[in-house]
Amino acid sequence: YRSTDDAVAVARLRAAGAVIFGKTNTPRLAQDVQTFNPIYGTTNNPWNDKHTSGGSSGGAAAGLASGFTPLELGSDLAGSIRTPSSWCGVYGHKTSYRLIPMRGHIPGPPGTRGEPDLCVAGPMARHPADLALALDILAGPDAIDASVWQARLPAPKPTTLADYKVAVLFDHAFCPISKAVKTLLEDAVEAVRRAGADVTKIEDLPGGFEKSYETYDRLLNGLVGASIPDKIYNKAKRGAKFMGLMGKTDMGTMGGFAERATTSHRDWAKADEARHKLRQQWHSLFADYDVLLMPSVCVPAIPHNQDGTVLSRKIDVDGTAHGYTNLFRWIAPATVAGLPATSAPVGLTDDGLPVGLQIVADYGQDLTTIAFAQHLAAAGVEAPACPYASRDVAAG
């Protein structure tokens, strides 16, 4: 398939003078945290080619880190901007929901006109200032909505790092993070404290981390179910009924996926209402804080693992096996609430792999999270330039 038209976001970049010289690699249908497919192969991490670049915008992140391009455009439904940005040591911004039109994004299939639930487009770059530059070009309604509303993002209220009121959550039993990740995140927070910011550790996320993820999981799989061909959907529906009788519909299982992918509109509407309640709870949190700091991902970039499926693979967190879907958990809260979230590199582990800090703010405060990332970089909290940028790295 070769499109005859640019997606809205691409057209805006082109109209602003961007030179678009190619497309980078993604996993099949953008449905993995690693980037590989049978046509273009595997995208390696520029910091260590035995490890993945992340996904689904893994080619974009690898291209940035390896010096292939200064700016990229990604999309984020399950961390597809934030995860590869974290694992490749670059900056990635998940925008506020519906800030950038998604028309022309694949998936869904060519010709799709509706805005996908949860999913957003956003910029990726080697410097946070370039995120703001790109966002100024990309933000705004699609033509069909432009007569009713325009996007005017508020300027960040804090003007220096010392002005920020910062909430922090790194520890939670629902998704343990590795010691290597936690050490670098805590070092970053200490730098924020030294700069004079008001920093407070919180015990849980608005509405509860686990409850928030459950809502996200139901909405996410409902969205995936809408794109399944009828024959497969009907099989999933029968499978969901059988697994329900067996009591095997937990999150992260095939039975759970089948049940959520074939959910009734009634159950979807209940999940949607839960989402809106979460949004209000997040809004209340940000009455007291400018940003919330969380991990972007629970571990640094994982070694290539293309066996099995997203639901069957495991990851290692300090010697303990966890489900592969734990890689989605820290990105889910901002996604389900439609909030802006910037992943900013904060350093390298002892093994030389980058780690990203996730900066979340209230709806529409995209420039606040990006500005915070800029303040961090100015304070010296960033990853160094990739030493392998001159090597022949598969960026897609």
Tens-place pLDDT, residues 256-303 = 788 888 989 999 999 999 999 999 999 999 999 999 999 999 999 999
Q: Could you give the angle at which helices 254-261 and 230-246 cross, rounded to 10 degrees?
A: 120
Give 201's strand partners: 168
Q: How confident is the model at residue 359 (pLDDT cuts 50, 70, 90)?
A: very high
Over the stretch 200-238, which tens digit does the pLDDT of each residue have?
999 999 999 999 999 999 999 999 888 888 888 888 888
User: Which of 102-111, 208-217, 290-299, 384-393 has the weakest average pLDDT?
Assistant: 384-393
Q: Judge if the upstream peptide bond of residue 107 is cis by omega within 30 degrees of 0.
A: yes
Given this model, what pLDDT does residue 258 score?
84
Residue 246: per-residue pLDDT: 59
For 303-315, the pLDDT digits (tens) are 999 999 999 999 9
**In sequence order, what are the residues at sequence separation of 6 or more whose Cβ sits closer than 8 angstroms to the Cβ of residue 227?**
107, 108, 109
In 195-331, which ranges are continuous DSSP H helix? Answer: 209-226, 230-246, 254-261, 265-285
**Token pair of 367 as six digits:** 């420039």
**pLDDT at residue 26 in the model:** 96
Q: DSSP label at 108?
A: S
Mean pLDDT of the chain: 93
Q: Where are the domains of the chain?
A: 8-203+289-378
pLDDT band with cut points at 50, 70 and 90 for residue 395: very low
Local confidence band at 113 (pLDDT 50, 70, 90 cut-offs): confident
Torsion of CA 150, 9, 121, 128, to 10 degrees: -90
Residue 8's pLDDT is: 97
Query: Are residues 121 and 127 in contact, defined by beta-carbon separation less than 8 angstroms?
Result: no
> How high is the pLDDT of residue 1?
76
pLDDT of 260 reads 81
Distance CA 374, CA 192 (A): 12
Token pair for 149: 């509303």
Lowest mean pLDDT among 5-9, 101-105, 166-170, 230-234: 230-234
Q: Where are the alpha helices (DSSP H) in the chain?
A: 8-15, 58-65, 82-88, 128-138, 179-194, 209-226, 230-246, 254-261, 265-285, 332-336, 366-378
Average pLDDT over residues 32-46: 97
Averaged pLDDT for residues 62-83: 97
- Please tell me the distance from the alpha carbon of residue 165 to that of residue 293, in angstroms, as a whole number: 11
Contact 52, 304 (CB under 8 A): yes
At 245 the pLDDT is: 56
Contacts of 45 (CB under 8 A, 6+ apart): 51, 52, 53, 54, 62, 87, 88, 301, 353
Please give the Cα distance from 396 to 394 (Å, whole number): 6
Is the per-residue pLDDT at 157 higher than 80?
yes
pLDDT > 90 fraction of the chain, expressed in percent and rounded: 81
CATH code at 8-203+289-378: 3.90.1300.10
pLDDT in tens, 142-156: 999 999 999 999 999
| Alpha-carbon Rg for the chain in angstroms | 20
Residue corresponding to tokens 């800029």: 374
Q: How confident is the model at residue 244 (pLDDT cuts 50, 70, 90)?
A: low
CA distance 121 to 100: 6
165 near 193, Cβ under 8 Å?
no
Q: Residue 347 forms beta bridges with which residues?
A: 355
Per-residue pLDDT, 295: 99
Listed range (54-63, 108-117, 285-294) with the worst mean pLDDT: 108-117
Dist. CA 29–CA 31, nearest whole Å: 5
pLDDT at 392: 47
